[in-house]
Structure formats: C-alpha cells, structure tokens
Structure 1
Amino acid sequence: MWRDVQNCVQHPQEAQCLHVTSNYVVLPGEPKNSHNFLLSATCRIKGIECPFLESPQAANYWNDAWVNARPGGDVQVMADFIGLGINSVDARQLNQMHIHMAGVEENTQKQLQDLERSQSIATSPREWSQHQVSITGFKGRRTYRALLRHSLDENLFALLDQYVVNPPQTSPMAQQTLIVVPKKVNHAYTGDFYVLNSDKSLHDGTDTCDELLVYGP
C-alpha cells in the first residue's frame, strides 16, 4: 500500500488515485465499489500504534476522511449511512496507516441513537472508558466504548491514548480499533459523531472495525 501511496503522489492522474493531497490519498478498497474506500497518509506511518498520529504535527485524518466520504465529498461513500474505521495491528492486512471509508447498517445508526437517548454514551472523553455499550453489527454483538463528539476537530488518536489506553486498564494502542459513525437524522447528517473503540480485553470486545463497517454489496 505504501508503494501505491507513493505512486499516487508522483502520478496523481492514475485511475486508482481517487483524491490526492499533500497529507493523504484516497484509494479504492477491496472489493471495489461505490461505498468502499481507503484514506492513507502520504508519510510513512504503519498504523494506529504509531505515536506520530497523536502529535500536533499529524494531519487530522479522521476529519479528512469524513470531508471526502460525506455527501458532496471528493470521494463520496454511496451508502445510506456512513462509517469510518481503523483496525488494530493484528486485524489489519496492510502496514501503511489507512482509514476505511464505508457504509454501516441502518440498525447500527438506530442502536447508537437509542443508546444516546438512554444516556449510555459518554459526552466527555474523561468518561469514555466507563461507557461500554453492546452493539449488534452484521457479524454479531460486540462491546464498544462509546463517546459522542460535536465535531472532528480533536485528535481522536490522542484522546483514545490519553483517556482509554494510558490509564492501565486495557490493551495497548496497537490492539485498539477505532470507529466513527456520523449521526444522521431525517436523511441529513447532524454534525455529531459517535466515536467507538474496542479491544479484546473487553467482554465480547473486538480489535477490528470490520464488525460494523459494510464493505461489500
């Protein structure tokens, strides 16, 4: 994948280079379709475990992914409900940092809104690790730590490390998955975001975003 990224930086007009900037490129995912894309950094970052992602020098890759994937974006995800995600070291197949831009099921969105109404989702990063919720995806029921944010202006990698990983009560950063589900009400995105995290130290936890994101037809 790193070779693909470098090739897009040098030859941005090639077909697989869907959008190219100085900070990131967007590539087709597998399987290739209209709701499965990958946003990858143009600098050499292996993945979620890299400390550089938490630094002020890192680009805001989550916001970049949303700006591309949202309706009217440069690489719009053609799904009724959009999800973004990054896998742990063990769950990924490619060792170049990439965020999946894909769909989520309508039921996933509904469950998250129901959990928000029942005040089961943290509204402060300080409470993130204590708000554990059970969500059924198309691969079964899993436990996630759930946080609501009103924008993607913050560095989600840094928040995860500071408020979930560093208090020594969970697996290290390399074993985490992180998922962002933009909130959608009455056919429109509200500007709020459900931020989900999990790892295998949780009961029914998972280290992959593939439990919720929909890549195929």
Structure 2
Amino acid sequence: MNAIGGTNGLPRRRFVALSGALGAGALLTGVAGSASAATGPAPTPDPCPTGPNPPGGGQSPCPPSGLQGLCGSPTDTDPLWRDVLYCTQGIVPPSGQRPNCLKTTPNHVVLHGLPETQHNYLTLPSCRITGIECPFLVTSNVANYWHEAWENARGGGDVPVQYANIGLGINSRSARRLNQLHIHMAGVQDSTQRRLQALENSGRIATQPSNWGDPQYQAAVTGTQGSGDRTYRILRLGALTQNLFALLNDNVVRRFGLNMADQTLIVVPKMTPVGFARSFYVLNSDPSLHDGTDTCDHLLVYG
C-alpha cells in the first residue's frame, strides 16, 4: 500500500508504557544523523505525560501497539529516541551522555541540532514515532507537532530560531539517518521567502488543500549552497491548525498513488517588513516530480 489509509478508526491510547533500561548508544541530534554530546541536568521523570489538546490535534496518545512494526517500538535503540527517553523519563544510557533538553512537554521535546547554532533546533514527539511514514500521524488523535514546532521557533517562542526567516522541515524515510520523527526548526534564505511571495503574487500557490498537487501549483525554488532548483508542490494556509500529515496524505499521496515514506514537507511562515504575515507556505516534494527531492535540507539553513 503506497498511501496511508484505513487508520482513522484506531482506538485512542494514552502514553505507551515504557519500562526497562535500554541498551547503550551514542546520543545523536541534528541534521542527517549528526552526533550531539551536549550535557545537561536530568529532568524529573514523568512516566505517563498527559496534557491539553493541541490545536488541530486529539488527546495526544501514542500509536497503539499494533502499529509498532510501522511506527517503532518503545524498546528501540534509535539514538534520538534515547534522547527523548532521557528528557521525558530521566533514563540515562550506560554511556552517560545526556542531551541538552531545551524544552520538555507532554507532547514533545526540543533539542539542539548540529551544527549547534541559534537557528538549528529539533522538535520531537514524546511518543515513539519513527517518521513521516507512521500511519498514526494521519489520524485525528495525533498531537499537532507542526503547530508546536512553530510555537517554539517563532519570535518570542520558548526556543526561538534566531534568523531573519524561519523554516520547519521533515525528511523522507530514505533521506534521514535517525528514526525518531524530528521536525527541523531552522532558517531559510531571504531569496526563498522572496521566491515564495512572488509565486503567490502570480497565482502559482494553491489556496485549497484539494488543489495542492495540481501542476500549476508546482514550482522551482532555488536551494542553499548551490544545490540548484528543486520542484515543490506549494500550498498556502492561514494557520497550522490542521494536521499537515493528513492533508498531504489525502490531497497528494493518495491522489497520485505515491508513497508517504518518500515525501518531504517544509513550512515557511510568510514574513513582511513589519513581521509575520499570519500565513504559511507549505511545500512538499518527492522523487516522482521532475527535479523533485525527498529532503528538506535543500531549503533549510542550519549552520
């Protein structure tokens, strides 16, 4: 099955119980599997976090045990998942390396990316979720991780990205090397912001999710560091209150018979000289597009 489907009837679950010490392994955070050796004090363990409903999300349960084959098991040894366990439950790996938990909530954890700069952070679910291919992400029960990433990264947020223009992004399964879902919170070039606004002014950006994949709303955007032009499907939203994973699955992946695991997703808040313009450009691409890409790294600025 290419698209994700048939999971909306999943039962609501609270946080999956995690027990037992996990095996040793280096703690990694950042772009494409970079290592992190930052240290910090151990937080108070919280074995069963709960919290208020996020905008556009449900009660933030974790994927049910029946999806562990697709979404990961709480006993997995993925380094980023170990970081989350440390931040949420205080489980220190045998190596003794501890990540710098910049923010810990019932729904998510914020960590440094690498290179460690003031415009390179990660938002990770407190649940065990491998990545964009996890079917639980398109259900109504999942937390709104994109909204939470924006609330962290925006000016005045808890972990603000210190860059003129902000970008949020997630890689496809093949483009990542760490298998705990992580939304990059980084910078984007001024030229990317200008290009998106020019496309909007010329009617080249979809304003309805149902039109997201239409050819007239596909456009080339120049990447960073000479990576050239890549083609993206571009949608504009007035807020991040909807489940972006479900929008992508329903309006692009299933519509064109694609594979959710191959998708990359990037969010660029629209900015004007007076500040945030209260709308977001949502970019998607995959290798099925001419000059498409399966990674957000062409547009985001980390270092």
TM-score (norm: length of structure 1): 0.96
Stretches of structure 1 that go unaligned for 5 or more consecutive residues are none
- Identity, % of aligned pairs? 57
1:183 alignment counterpart: 270
| Matched positions, count | 214
Cα distance in 2 between the residues matched to 1:99 and 1:178: 9
Aligned 1:39-78 pairs, distance under 5 A: 39-78=123-162
Within the candidate set 289, 294, 298, 1:207 is matched to 294
1:128 alignment counterpart: 212
Q: Secondary structure at the match of 1:33?
A: coil
1:167 Cα shift? 1.3
1:142 aligns with 2:230: yes
Cα distance in 2 between the residues matched to 1:187 and 1:107: 18
Cα distance in 2 between the residues matched to 1:16 and 1:119: 44
1:187 Cα shift? 4.1
2:247 maps to amino acid:
L
1:140 Cα shift? 1.1
2:175 alignment counterpart: 91
1:174 aligns with 2:258: no
Within the candidate set 248, 273, 283, 1:196 is matched to 283
> What CA deviation, in whole Å up to 9, does each residue of 1:127-147 have, x standing for no partner?
000110111111210000000
1:115 aligns with 2:199: yes
TM-score (norm: length of structure 2): 0.69
160-169 vs 75-84, which moves further: 160-169
1:25 aligns with 2:109: yes
Cα distance in 2 between the residues matched to 1:114 and 1:143: 15
2:59 alignment counterpart: none
2:232 maps to amino acid:
Y
Q: Secondary structure at the match of 2:115?
A: strand
Q: Secondary structure at the match of 1:184?
A: strand
Within the candidate set 62, 68, 82, 1:3 is matched to 82
Cα distance in 2 between the residues matched to 1:79 and 1:52: 32
Moved over 4 A (4+): none
Within the candidate set 131, 137, 154, 2:242 is matched to 154
Q: Secondary structure at the match of 1:76?
A: coil
CA RMSD of aligned residues (A): 1.2
> What CA deviation, in whole Å up to 9, does each residue of 1:23-53 have, x standing for no partner?
1000000111100000000100000000111
1:153 maps to amino acid:
T
1:17 maps to amino acid:
C
Cα distance in 2 between the residues matched to 1:96 and 1:161: 20
1:165 aligns with 2:165: no
Larger radius of gyration, structure 1 or 2? 2
